[in-house]
């Protein structure tokens, strides 16, 4: 399963969280792709840095995980450019109205993604000129 990762590099613990995400993804057999702006934050250990997200967007992305807050989730949705790809928002901030889970529920969330045991909520995107 191809999973894209979009993150907000302003979160101080994002690098450590990416390491945890990478280990869990290996356990669940998920192939990760990363956006360029967080590429240098990935640990260099197990599996190395995931390939660029652009490669997966050219083919087929099964899920997009956003790490940050609502703004990061909205930026991830824009990257998908209308594709029918589920987005899992992990809130690393304080509020997160649009995000689904937090850092403590990463294992639960990745298990659901790997088993495709989730439901989606359709959302609208408005664009103004």
Catalytic residues: 70
Angle between helix 106-115 and helix 14-28 axes, rounded to 10 deg: 40
Decide if 26 contacts 15 (C-beta within 8 A): no
DSSP secondary structure letters along 5-45: EEE-TTSTTHHHHHHHHHHHHHHHTPEEEE-GGGGGGS-SS
| CA 116 – CA 71 distance, rounded (Å) | 25
What end-to-end distance do the CA atoms of the chain give, in Å?
Answer: 36
Question: For the chain, how big is the Rg over CA atoms in Å?
Answer: 14
């Amino acid at each position: 399963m191809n999973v894209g990762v979009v993150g907000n590099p302003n979160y101080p613990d994002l690098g450590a969280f990416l390491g945890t995400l990478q280990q869990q993804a290996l356990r669940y057999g998920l192939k990760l792709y990363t956006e360029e702006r967080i590429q240098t934050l990935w640990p260099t250990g197990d599996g190395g840095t995931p390939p660029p997200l652009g490669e997966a967007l050219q083919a087929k992305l099964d899920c997009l995980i956003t790490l940050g807050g609502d703004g990061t989730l909205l930026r991830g949705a824009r990257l998908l450019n209308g594709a029918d790809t589920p987005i899992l928002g992990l809130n690393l901030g304080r509020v997160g109205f649009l995000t689904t889970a937090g850092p403590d529920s990463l294992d639960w969330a990745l298990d659901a993604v790997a088993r495709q045991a989730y439901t989606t909520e359709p959302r609208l995107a408005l664009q103004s000129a």
